[in-house]
Structures are given as C-alpha cells and as structure tokens.
Amino acid sequence: MSVLILHILYLVAITAEAMTAALAAGRRNMDWVGVCLLAAVTALGGGSTRDVLLGHHPLVWVVHPEYLLVVVVAAMTTIAIARFMHHLRRLFLFLDAVGLVVFTIIGCTIALDMGLPVVVAIVAGMITGCVGGVLRDILCNEIPLLFRAELYASVSIVTGGLYVTGMQLGLPHDPVMYTATIIGLAMRLLALRFNWQMPKFVYTLKLH
C-alpha cells in the first residue's frame, strides 16, 4: 500500500514540477519545445542525475517512458491555462514541498537497495529532491534555490536522514516512511510560512 501511495505522490510531484518549470520557461519566452524540455529536465533531472552518479541503469524514464508523456502533458496544459495559474500559487508551493520529500525518500530507497553506505543514501536522496530545480534555475540563468538561504536542501537532508536511520535500525518501513514524510513536509511548509532561512555568508571586503 505504501508503495502505491508513494507512486501516486511521485506522479503528482513530477506533474507539479513540470508545470512550475513550464511557467519559468514562459517567463523566458521559450518556444513550446523549450517549455517541454525544461519541464522534463526539472521533473526527471534529479532522478536521472542520481542514477548516472550511482550507476543505476536504466534511467527511470527509460524504464517508464510514460513519465515523459506525463511531463509533456503537464507542460502543454500549463500553456493552455497559464492565465489562471497565479491563483494556484499556494497549491504549487505545497506540491513542490511534497515533491521534495517524496523524491528524497525515493532516492534514499534506491541507494539503500543498492547496498550503498548511509551517507551516500542521504546524498542520493538530496540529489533526487533538489537537482531538478537546480538544472531548471541554471537553464533559466538564475541562482539555484538550493544555493540561496531558503530551507530546501536542509529539508531534504533531514527527511533522508530520518528515513535512512529508521531503515538502518530495522524499524517497520511504512511508519518510518510516513514519519519522515510528515516531518520533512511540515519543516518545508513552516519555513515557507515563517520565512525560515539558513545563515548567509556575506563577504564584502576587497583584497589588496
């Protein structure tokens, strides 16, 4: 049952990520091909990067090409309803938070199934959760959200850490997964609500 729920949340997450990426492409006046490519990179780029780095083949969208169809349909739907999208901003912030924690747990699970060390599993979760957005921001010539002060990568690390620790302790999978998901989601939503941020490094002195 938990696998089915995780799969449904994954489909929701890649749809939401594809739609937000399509809006970012629209703000850069990209053509429809560019919109679809940016949506695919954002929604599937984190998992693809993880798989390449870990040597986990074939890539997820190669095994499940229907994911590409989901992404393209989401992108084209965004183009059709773009004028109404600003009314759904809060919904997409919520779905982005869901995507972050779901992608993280999926990445950790794959790394653990490969028998990789705990630290690598947590990093794999963070890569899955965050790199798609990094690629989107780089292609849109923006400073990636991951490198700003927002609690984003840290949420992924906490979520992955809780999940991997529970698995290593031999605790039941479903309660561990749900606990990590709820805590990670709550952390991200509270950070958005109260503007929690990581400390910034500011250096302004010139070297002579």
| Residue 169: its H or E element | none
pLDDT in tens, the chain (208 residues): 578 888 999 999 999 999 999 999 999 999 999 999 999 999 999 999 999 999 999 999 999 999 999 999 999 999 999 988 888 889 999 999 999 999 999 999 999 999 999 999 999 999 999 999 999 999 999 988 777 767 899 999 999 999 999 999 999 999 999 999 999 999 999 999 998 888 877 777 776 6
Counting every residue, how long is the chain?
Answer: 208
Q: How far apart are CA 102 and CA 160, in angstroms?
A: 10
| Residue 170: its H or E element | none
CB 9, CB 31: distance < 8 Å: no
The tally of domains found in the chain comes to 1
Alpha helices in the chain (DSSP H): 2-27, 32-54, 60-63, 66-80, 89-113, 118-139, 153-168, 173-194
Closest CA relative to residue 163, chosen from 121, 129, 114, 127: 121
Residue with tokens 């049952």: 1
Q: How far apart are CA 68 and CA 36, in angstroms?
A: 9
Task: Please tell me whether residue 95 adopts helix, strand or coil conformation.
Answer: helix
| Residue 39 in domain | yes
| Residue 201 in domain | no
| Residue 88 in domain | yes
| Residue 206 in domain | no
| Residue 82 in domain | yes
| Residue 207 in domain | no
Write out the residue range of the structural domain in which residue 109 sits: 2-194
Question: Looking at residue 3, what is its pLDDT?
Answer: 81
Give the global pTM: 0.92
Question: Looking at residue 149, what is its pLDDT?
Answer: 61
| Residue 41 in domain | yes
Question: Looking at residue 1, what is its pLDDT?
Answer: 54
Q: How far apart are CA 16 and CA 154, in angstroms?
A: 21
DSSP secondary structure letter of residue 200: P
CB 1, CB 7: distance < 8 Å: no
CB 167, CB 173: distance < 8 Å: yes
Residue type at 97 in one-letter notation: A
| Residue 200 in domain | no
CB 28, CB 140: distance < 8 Å: yes
Question: Looking at residue 198, what is its pLDDT?
Answer: 80
Read off the tokens for 79.
Answer: 């183009």
